[in-house]
Amino acid sequence: MKRFRIFAIAFVIIISFIVLRCNIDKGLDIIPWIEGRLIIDSIDRVDEGQTGDVVVVVAPDFPPKKWTDIIKTPPLEFDRTVRTDTISYKVPLNYGTYDVVAVLWKPKGKEWSFETISNILGVYIAPNVFRPKSVTIHPGDTFVPNVNIYSDFGYVRYGATIKGTITYEGDFNPRTDMLVLASFPMKPETVVDYLFALGWDLTLPTESKSYNPYEFELDVAPAYHKYIALFWKGKGGNPYDFRRIAAVELPDDLPQVSEFIPEGTFIKKGQVFDSFKDSNGNTVPIHLIANFAKTYDE
pLDDT in tens, 134-171: 999 999 899 999 999 998 887 777 789 999 999 998 88
Q: Are residues 106 and 138 both part of a single domain?
A: yes
Domain end marker among 155, 179, 196: 155
Query: What is the rounded CA–CA span in Å between residue 158 and residue 57?
Result: 21
Query: Same structural domain for residues 122 and 172?
Result: no
Task: Count Cβ atoms below 10 Å from residue 224 Cβ, excluding itself.
Answer: 19
CA 183 – CA 118 distance, rounded (Å): 14
Judge if 143 and 86 occupy the same domain: yes
- The rounded distance, in Å, linking the Cα atoms of 15 and 42 is 24
Tell me, what DSSP letter sits at residue 140?
T
Q: In terms of domains, do 145 and 175 share one?
A: no
Lowest mean pLDDT among 100-109, 119-128, 227-236: 119-128
Judgement on whether residues 149 and 85 belong to the same structural domain of the protein: yes
**Global pTM value:** 0.66
Q: Are residues 167 and 151 in the same domain?
A: no
Nearest Cα to Cα of residue 166 among 201, 198, 199: 201
Q: Based on the domain organization, do 138 and 172 belong to the same domain?
A: no
Same domain, 248 and 170: yes
CB 102 within 8 A of CB 57: yes
What domain count does the chain have? 2
91 and 213 assigned to the same domain: no
Point out the domain boundary residue: 155, 173, 194. Answer: 155
End-to-end CA distance of the chain: 35
Same-domain check for residues 101 and 150: yes
Q: Which domain holds residue 166?
A: 160-295
One domain, residues 195 and 99: no
148 and 165 share one domain: no
Is residue 63 very low, low, confident or very high in pLDDT (cuts 50, 70, 90)? low
Q: CA distances (Å), 230 to each of 44, 135, 180, 288, in order? A: 32, 35, 6, 8
pLDDT band at 210 (very low <50, low <70, confident <90, very high): low
Bridge-partner residues for 267, per DSSP?
A: 223
Distance separating alpha carbons of residues 164 and 160, to the nearest angstrom: 14
Choose the final residue of a domain: 140, 155, 170. Answer: 155
Peptide bond preceding 205 in cis form (omega within 30 of 0): no
Question: CA 79, CA 89: separation in Å to the nearest integer?
Answer: 15
